[in-house]
Structure 1
Amino acid sequence: MSTAAELLRASGLPRLEARVLLMHVLGWRRTELITRDREPLSEDAVASFEALSARRLAGEPIAQLTGGREFFGLDFDVTPDVLIPRPETELLVETALEAIADTPNARVLDLGTGTGAIAVSVAHARPDARVWAVDRSPAALDVARGNADRLLDPARAGGTLTFVQSDWTANLDASLLFETIVSNPPYIASGDPHLEQGDLRFEPRGALTDEADGLSAIRTIVETAPFLLASNGALWLEHGYDQADAVRQLLKARGFTEVRSMRDLAGIERCSGGRFTA
């Protein structure tokens, strides 16, 4: 019978990835991999770990193999129907929360919600907020609803989280006005070689690329967002590492003020936004 220590050595994976997969299979904590590393494992556990290891070696993302990813301190379920939440997107959540910091019962719109990571994180941090989460994919909305049901207190006072199937703002009630709109839209250009590399190969292509220059979805949002923003409402968009200047120019051309970009922990201009006064 194999032990945890033997499986980790033989997996062929980076040690951290092997540990994550083995903890997932065994239901063990990290400390147990140390204290129980010479304990014989069942044949089923060994077979499950080896199968997952083979899939990871073939390129499948860890988050899809384990079914989850931590984001903003919360554990989100992940499926192949949704983009895997990235740490850099936490900046968008922080920026949205800053934008509504002084607004009780703020209304927030998350366009292209995917797992619901942004919408749920905002609703979790601000139980009084009223958050709308939009996605054109029914499968993605199912994942987002499941995450909301599991991660949010159903009895939280005053707040709501509403899910809408829509191609961006097309199906939203035109009478709705939001203090803040946020989005992590598809911003990778169609010919970018990264689409054929690493984890991106296994994620929904429509959540990654606009099949154009990487800015078409951003243009649509910048153009339509003012119709749904309350006076002096804010729009913030995540974008590619080299798109900040182009996004700022789009915002300014549409009449946004206080336009600026925010840098992530790597120093990259990761999201840009501004305010709109009708």
Structure 2
Amino acid sequence: MTCAPLPSVATPTALPVLDGGRGEPLCAGLDIGGTAIKYALVDPVRGTTVGPVRRVPTPSPATPAAVVAALRGVLEELEDETRSPLTGVGVGVPGIVDHGVVRSAAHLDDSWLGVDARRLLAEGLDREVAVLNDADAAGLAEMRFGAACGVDGTVLLITLGTGIGSALLLNGVLVPNTELGHVWFEGRDVDGWAGASARIAENLDWPTYTDRVQRYLSHLEGLVSPDLIVLGGGISERQEQFLPHLELRARVVPAQLRNAAGIVGTGLQAHLAHSAQH
């Protein structure tokens, strides 16, 4: 199924040859996580990664300077492989990104708060950079290429990883920075209770962890009444362990792009931003 272009962004009519003759515009997709930075080359037209998805540890502490240095290293690695300019660079940040400015940083150093990440990364990487919330990036990718493609109504994407991210889509339009992974539930921030890292840290068996996800998603159903719930993040690689056991009003499906959704989404956003400017 071919889905419509994302709203409010011009669709390119001609695609530059940037990859040695294959005719594919390539972008770099960089996804900053609480544990690792995942990255890959992205074909933003087909919605795929080109070559393997790789990762390096997120610096600790994850200060702006340390993260920029890590991103510079992985970007140089990707450019060495393509041997040609990239159409764009997209970066997903685990926090609220308000017109480029970071407003929350649950899994980064607090020194990110108030930082204009768009300007910081543009200066640090010496190029224009598209910056957005990491779960929003995954939501855009799934809306354009994956499980939410062509779906009307309310779609809720939840990423279960080091923490919990969320993307809310209404009739194919993203409502940015929802941060439903940080709702207060049963006296706690659900981020550290139902994220995939909690299962490992507390050595939870799958039935116990599935019960937590069930209770969390049931709570979200009472807040936003989604028609479809898409589950992504690192744990999506093992969705058969828990997803069939969830009982919700909404239809629940795994992210089709699995843990690469955020990478593809950042590459897509970079490509669309570049196309809008040229």
TM exceeds 0.5?
Answer: no
Q: Give the TM-score category using the shorter length.
A: 0.3 to 0.5
Structure number with higher strand proportion:
2
The structure with more radius of gyration: 1
Give the TM-score, by structure 1 length.
0.32
Greater relative contact order (Cα < 8 A, sep 6+): 2
Give the TM-score, by structure 2 length.
0.32
